[in-house]
Amino acid sequence: MRELGVRAEGIKLHGQDKRARLALTTNYIFNGVILFPSHGAEDLINQLVNFGVEKYDDLADAFSLLAHKVMSRNKLGGSFGVLISER
């Protein structure tokens, strides 16, 4: 990714599987700390809601990794939103 000019850094998983990492985000979503747009995040939301049933879960997994990274740096305790970029 860095070769393509994308700012990227590794994330330590601490032995947690996808389900465990995703479970840790539920309180943030429930309490309105993590917000989703009214449209544009349908694929992500579908994977989150149907995790374990859906054939694909890459978006849900990437979301959980990003959410944990952002929350670990969120010293002010404010909300943040999921921004969907249209290409």
Q: Give residue-wise pLDDT tens across range 6-62.
A: 887 778 888 889 999 999 899 889 888 888 988 899 999 999 999 989 888 999 999
Output the CA–CA distances (angstroms, integers) from residue 43 to 24, 32, 36, in the order listed: 20, 20, 12
> How far apart, in whole angstroms, are the C-alpha atoms of residue 27 and residue 42?
20
pLDDT given at position 3: 86
Is pTM beyond 0.75 here? no
Tokens of 36: 């989703």
pLDDT given at position 77: 60
